[in-house]
Structure 1
């Protein structure tokens, strides 16, 4: 009797002292490791599936050699969004070769951006086979460099039904480099420079590198799916005002593209410590997914 009492007491104490995260994860979503093929290599990732998926997204990487974005994926899954996140090509358990400045290669060359768009598209095709409800809308969520990759993938894969882009450019790759070289990593750049000054350099500075540029507008022109861009006004990686100008042109043309500008933020609009962009994107995804589902039912 006493032994049972103390055993139960110990178990109860253990349960209440363990982190809440352990139980919320197991109760709210499951995690399943997957592998899929893309352009001759095997990519490895994880699928996070909520009990009831309101929407589904594949996470598209920025430029860094990063593995699957598990923490960001868990934030999404807790909100009822199924996620496939994978190790970038040449990183972690994924095959292939990573391309980027850290290894002395050009990761915004057209060839590499197209290759990465194939990876994102293959992830979407794989993800669809795992979703129980085949009418669940699938979109792409990405960061920074994904601003060039996502439009390419979406223009070629009709299964991609919406897109969310954190600090993603809508200008050409060469224009982005001109701006980045001009700001030169100076976090106080906007305290000493005007918008017109930055724009002049972005449009007219001589290019330090010569390669075929990628213009996301060529792909965005072909898309009719909804898109949401989230920008930080203090960004020193991309010229945000110029990117917004491009989006406004698309909006005038009737494209279902939206954006939100955060006056105090820089390039990192998807940080764990910054909740507003994430919360806005979540509500946006849920609403767009609901609209897409309704349109499928009415057809």
Structure 2
């Protein structure tokens, strides 16, 4: 019994020392102005910074992504993550399907890209070393917003996109409506069939479209896309073809394809996609 008691004390001592170890980064809550509205966010600053990123949201009512930011900061990447406009502590009006509005119209995507650009300016000013490359990272709908931001703000030196489409918004919606959330879609449909519907189906909604190729053809910075072959929201093979066309024209764009993954490549059961992104961003200077 005495030995057990001593063992418990020993384990408690280890636990206390572990809990006492401070994180290798600091956090600071900030507010910044974008297009007349005050947005709220948090800057994560590691002790040793390899690169820095602004996180760009997907399509939902997303607050600042603190868990994701913590992961990046623990890997020596500084982060600014903020509540999307109209969400959490950020002012402005959220536009999205949950409130009966169309959040994929070009005007809204442009507005969100201006928010991200303002965040880049804030992060750039906060960093003491202006040689640290600042990039953008995001998933899904961010695949359209990030190129718009990179085109607007020359401080953006790289982009990292998980499961972002390189086709227009209307084309992506046609594909998404056709797959209809069927997780077994690719077991019963061919690439040719999916592509025919993506390019030719009538549009269910009318709005001003956005083509990411317009911006991607104008910027000259490195980019990394991570895709899953089983994606039923983004037509991956078509997006990769367009990406390869840009690469053939001298763009420094790369991609990684994971045959068993779907749309959620960032936080799937496999850590490999995130590890690849982390390594790529930390080595961006090289």
TM-score (structure 1 length as normaliser) = 0.90
- Which residue of structure 2 lines up, in the alignment, with residue 74 of structure 1? 70
Counterparts of 1:1-299 in structure 2, within 5 Å, are 14=12, 16-17=14-15, 20=18, 22-23=19-20, 26-271=22-267, 273-288=269-284, 290-291=285-286
Aligned length: 279
Q: Is the 8 A contact 2:261 2:268 kept in 1?
A: no
Residue aligned with 1:213, SS = coil
* Larger mean Cα displacement after TM superposition, 263-272 or 78-87: 263-272
- Which residue of structure 2 lines up, in the alignment, with residue 3 of structure 1? none
Residue aligned with 1:35, SS = strand
Task: Tell me which stretches of 4 or more aligned residues in structure 1 moved more than 3 Å.
Answer: 12-15
How many angstroms apart in 1 are the aligned matches of 2:253 and 2:64? 27
Aligned pair in 2 of structure 1 residues 19, 145: CA closer, same or farther (>3 Å)? farther
Listed one character per residue, the Cα deviations across residues 170-214 of structure 1 (whole Å, up to 9, x for unaligned) are 100000000000000111111110001000000000111111110
Deviation at 1:129, TM superposition (A): 1.2
How many angstroms apart in 2 are the aligned matches of 1:118 and 1:169? 20
How many angstroms apart in 2 are the aligned matches of 1:114 and 1:259? 25
Deviation at 1:93, TM superposition (A): 0.5
How many angstroms apart in 2 are the aligned matches of 1:287 and 1:27? 22
Listed one character per residue, the Cα deviations across residues 17-76 of structure 1 (whole Å, up to 9, x for unaligned) are 2595x556x331111111101001011111111101010000101001011111111111
Residue aligned with 1:218, SS = helix
TM-score (structure 2 length as normaliser) = 0.94
Q: Gapped runs of 5+ residues in structure 2? A: 1-7
Residue aligned with 1:65, SS = coil
Q: Gapped runs of 5+ residues in structure 1? A: 1-8, 292-299
**RMSD of the alignment, in Å?**
1.6
